[in-house]
Structure 1
């Protein structure tokens, strides 16, 4: 077998063969990129989308033509850095558990591609990038962002003590729903809170789908997940979470004064969530991964609707339409 020192190790199960890290990245960098999940960018998208929704919803409420491009860029950089930092921290804490789980045993720390000191150094680098992004935001948004760090730090430990770690993940991954609004208005108002609550439900639903891949190993290792908690009733739990998500998002849009195009974006978002529930087979791990990843497309449809609505409302108010 080729040594991991040559960079040629089997990819983690959900990274997929032929991902860009394995194909193009220099061999010495591959373990670090794998640790940050750069070979699986879906997590960065799912962390970023609530930030972008919030920024776009704030643009509608503020009468702006489009979301602030600088904020969108900062949130994109921050999402990649903080998702990578969160994954690095997760793997540091879970390295012994990961060795016992089929899907995760090839992760850099579990497989020995990286040592603990190197992982901590890389974690510090990613956090430094995240802090630099945070300090580029308005003061109120900086304070709001700092408030999320405790949730991010404790999430990897939650599966050891609760059957619903997806709730904590939902809070951590949905914090961006507050950040965009806070950056525009220097406050957290009802639309942002409703968007945040809906996003927590969204994350709870899609991560319950994702967790179906690990439920047998999780049961053997002795950690909790909603896939194990709900078992054969997982489809119903996911459907209820998604219904709550769409309802709360609808209330957020109405509260912010969003119009028809935002509503159409929400409808498109809801249709993709419905298709996930309809197609779900909790015994098919490959399908569960495909459905989980489709949440990026659902989120981009909603974001596009919000952006189009901001543009339309601005055009109408300016008498152009």
Structure 2
């Protein structure tokens, strides 16, 4: 019989496998979902829906990390940053990881049942497919970060369905904006492992963009903010919303100073710092709606 200490050690390994000790991925997945929840409700979201989506984000990001490590278990031991991950180091078996993945997915699916919507069920199946298939795109797709942007942004159309039971055009513009944002921040992330990825044959945007990586990252940021500004224009957002975008643009400019020498540690810092871009945009959305509704005067 396993001792309490052994159980605790195993749970710690599962926590690391789900990356719950590194919440940046949850935040990068959560921000665009929150943007969509506020846009789709015109600043008056159903709070039960919000909490369902927050919990669903945590579960699906955790499931995505498990399936990613399961798919990369033969590659991760050859990369300095990932060789000590639970699957790569052999501390968690593939069978355990698969069971954990299925359990997380089942819990996430249960969260959408209160909506009683086949539309939502269909979208959840697509979201699961995107999350489960993303790790394999690194074998053949030159810019898997674009695929990641769709997977990480699929909470956007689901948020619109939760509030409106439909997906208007602005939702797809917002999803496209998230694709370019993911390309920006995950290229910064890929710049950290570029040399290792070249050795093992993994495809990333950092490799594909080559010496134009800095230009590509900044262009992706510009397109992201331009598309979100267009969504705001369509919804008649006010000056506070655009101020949030200006702050986000300033943060993106700061990222250029971090990545221009392509030093892995500074590129990773830039990646982590994207949390503040998402937060700035969200703050602008929330405050603008609060002012327009007279909550803040």
TM-score > 0.5, shorter chain as reference: yes
The alignment status of 1:163 with 2:142, answered yes or no, reads yes
Aligned to 1:127: 105
Deviation readout 1:1-45 (Å, 9 max, x if unpaired): xxxxx78xxxxxxxxxxxxxxxxx932211100110111110011
1:198 and 1:237 map into 2 onto residues whose CA distance is: 15
CA contact (8 A) 1:281 1:287 kept: no
Q: Provide TM-score, normalisation by structure 2.
A: 0.93
Aligned to 1:67: 45
1:78 and 1:302 map into 2 onto residues whose CA distance is: 21
Aligned to 1:13: none
Distance 1:102 1:188, change over 3 A: same
CA contact (8 A) 2:87 2:93 kept: yes
Alignment of 1:251-262 (within 5 A): 251-262=230-241
Aligned to 1:18: none
In the TM superposition, residue 104 of structure 1 has moved relative to its aligned partner by 0.7
Tell me the SS of whatever aligns to 2:72: helix
2:124 and 2:237 map into 1 onto residues whose CA distance is: 25
Query: How many corresponding residue pairs?
Result: 292
The alignment status of 1:58 with 2:40, answered yes or no, reads yes
1:204 and 1:174 map into 2 onto residues whose CA distance is: 12
CA contact (8 A) 2:109 2:124 kept: no
Distance 1:151 1:282, change over 3 A: farther
Tell me the SS of whatever aligns to 1:187: coil
Q: Provide TM-score, normalisation by structure 1.
A: 0.86
CA contact (8 A) 1:138 1:186 kept: no
Aligned to 2:30: 48
Consecutive unaligned residues of structure 2, counting only runs of 5 or more, are: none
Consecutive unaligned residues of structure 1, counting only runs of 5 or more, are: 1-5, 8-24
Runs of 4+ more than 4 Å apart: none
Distance 1:153 1:190, change over 3 A: same
Tell me the SS of whatever aligns to 1:135: helix
Tell me the SS of whatever aligns to 1:26: helix
Aligned alpha-carbon RMSD (Å)? 1.9
In the TM superposition, residue 161 of structure 1 has moved relative to its aligned partner by 0.8
In the TM superposition, residue 118 of structure 1 has moved relative to its aligned partner by 1.1
